[in-house]
Chain A
């Protein structure tokens, strides 16, 4: 199975801050990397596919990058509605696996 490791597990930031979350795969997954946002008590929301392509409707302050084993999710200017937990997931091969999550808090 492909292991996904996110860092940090949590971070504190303020409105307007630039936030970077990293995700590392245990083997190369080329660009088969997805990002989700989950707010407390809600289902995950699909943000990014193919490591860097924004799903329709996702604000442009979100961006993704990377290939191979190392990936990033960047929020260029954190907004109040962005405080949530973010998960990466590999879509390279089954079993699909997720990172453990990064909680972005005030």
Chain B
């Protein structure tokens, strides 16, 4: 099982960023994908999840309206888009394969997003 994420990004305040997470080594539609972020020096914060079969998303109240999760099953890839970026969004963003019991059993390597003017 591997989850390979897109590379680091530098964005200006107000911009958007789209992070990708390409899955391999398992059947993509058999597991949910969750997104977790980690502000430098801080803990883990859950953002969103997605059912890869239906594409139905779920969002943390904190990020609802500003974050969108999507997927392309033909290339086994999930996406996280964050809009209206501020410096507080500077963080490493992780995708995680999730079992139907809510276990984040495999993680991507993380994508650093830096928001700076």
Q: A residues within 8 Å of B by Cβ?
A: 32, 34, 36, 38, 43-46, 49, 55, 87, 89, 91, 94-101
- Quick check: is B52 within 8 A (CB to CB) of the other chain? no
Which one of B39-47, B69-77, B79-87 contacts A? B39-47
- Quick check: is B66 within 8 A (CB to CB) of the other chain? no
**Between-chain CB contacts (< 8 Å), 25 pairs:** A32-B101, A32-B102, A34-B102, A36-B104, A38-B44, A43-B107, A44-B44, A44-B94, A44-B107, A46-B103, A46-B107, A49-B101, A87-B44, A89-B44, A91-B101, A91-B102, A94-B58, A95-B46, A95-B60, A96-B34, A96-B46, A97-B46, A98-B45, A100-B43, A101-B43
CB-CB < 8 A to B117: which residues of A?
none
Report which of A43, A46, A49, A91 forms a contact with B94, defined as CB distance below 8 A: A43
